[in-house]
Every structure is written in C-alpha cells, then in structure tokens.
Amino acid sequence: MFRRKPAPATDIDANTDDGDQPSRHRAQIGRKVAAKLSRNPMVARMESECLTLYMRDDFVSPAECAQLRAVIDAGARPSSLFSGTAEADYRTSDSCSMDPGEPPLDAIVARICALMGLDRAWGETIQGQRYQVGQEYKFHWDFFPVNTDYWPHMRAQGGQRCWTAMIYLNSVEAGGETCFPHAGLSVPPLEGRLLMWNNLREDGAPNQESLHSAQPVAAGAKYVLTQWFRERPWKARPE
C-alpha cells in the first residue's frame, strides 16, 4: 500500500533558526497530539524514525466527500505560494478557501479537532485543492522558514505551523501520492482517508525531514482538504 522512495536531491534551503531556543510550547503541543492519536485504536501511526505521521481511514463519508468536491469545483482558482518562487510549475493545482459554515465542513472540522485534541481557534482557514492530470505540488514544507520576508506576518498571525491535517476527498485512478522522501513513504489517495503529521521536531524546532510533495496525477483528478494548525490562535488579520 505504501511505497518507499529514496529521499531526492533537493536545493530547497530553509533557515530554521529564529534566534530563540526551540519552543517548549511547540514541543508540548507535539507530545500532546501524538499521545492522543496513539491511544486511538482507529488511528495508525506510520513507521518512520524522522517524522510523526498518523493515518485514519474512512474519516469522511462518501456523501461528505462528494459535497466538498462540488464546493471545490465551484470555487477553485490557480494555487499560489507564500514564497513567490520563480518556478511557475512548482505548484500547479487549483485551490479555494473553504467557508467554515459550509455543510458538512463544520462537523468535519469539529471531528478533526476532537481527534487530535487541538483547539479549533488555532486552525487556519481550511483550503480545498484540486489536481488535474499532470498537476502537482513539488517538494516543500508546511512550516514557515524564518528567513523569508513573510515570516514576521505569519508569526503575528499565530506563529509557526505545528500540525497538518489533510483529507483525501476521492480515490485517484493513478498518481497523486503524498510523498515523504525522508520518511521513505508514499501514501496513495483513498477517499475519506485522513493524514496528520507534525511539521516540527520533538524539541519544537521545524523539522526539515517533514519535506513532502503531491506527486503528479496520472489519471483522473485528485481532491484534497487541508487544515493547518498554528502554535497559537490564528488571526486572519493580525493587529
């Protein structure tokens, strides 16, 4: 089910030293969530020495997935990047921000937070993503490298991204795997499957081995729902 791949050579560079000691608060969040997920018999921990990654199948029903795919189709626009990379083909999917009041999203977000033991206030606006044949998101991190010009704004909005929760809204005919090269894992999209991973190390510092990609879709289309959690309450418009 899960194909192992060697870590690719990459020229992605991230300065993960923000001038402070690794956050005890971030580390506590990581331990708390991991402990809660590990106690749940419906949740499986993926085998990896460098990444804390969990999976829960059948988390979203087929009917809920169909509703959310329709919402994404109605609102999808070309995806953007924080980094403004010069490579136009770095992220080629379509995305949209999801209205938290859109049925059945409110109930799904509540389930995610209950499962992970995270405060809903720490979650960013949920993003829906659609990948057509040939579209992908090349290797990247979900945490914020602190040497970027957007880091001060992200810090004011709620700080570092700690956990990512991602739901596959359909099973893909071919391709579209989520690849974690340092963990040696490639997870195929399966309708209703929830992946959850810690973007930080055990000491609370950004984990460069959380590098991952959305592999190109080879046949069909891929729909994804992503919820990122910050280390503090998220503010859409910080003061």
Average pLDDT over residues 115-121: 97
Domain ranges of the chain: 29-80+92-230
Least confident range of 63-67, 80-84, 101-105: 80-84
What is the model's pTM? 0.89
C-alpha distances in angstroms, 216 versus 22, 63, 90, 129? 35, 26, 11, 13
pLDDT of residue 148: 87
Give the pairing of strands 222-230 and 161-168: antiparallel
Average pLDDT over residues 157-172: 97
Average pLDDT over residues 93-119: 94
Residue 81: is its pLDDT beyond 90?
A: no
User: Both tokens of residue 84?
Assistant: 């403004």
When the candidates are 3.40.190.10, 2.60.120.620, 3.20.20.140, 2.70.210.12, the CATH number that belongs to 29-80+92-230 is 2.60.120.620
Average pLDDT over residues 54-63: 98
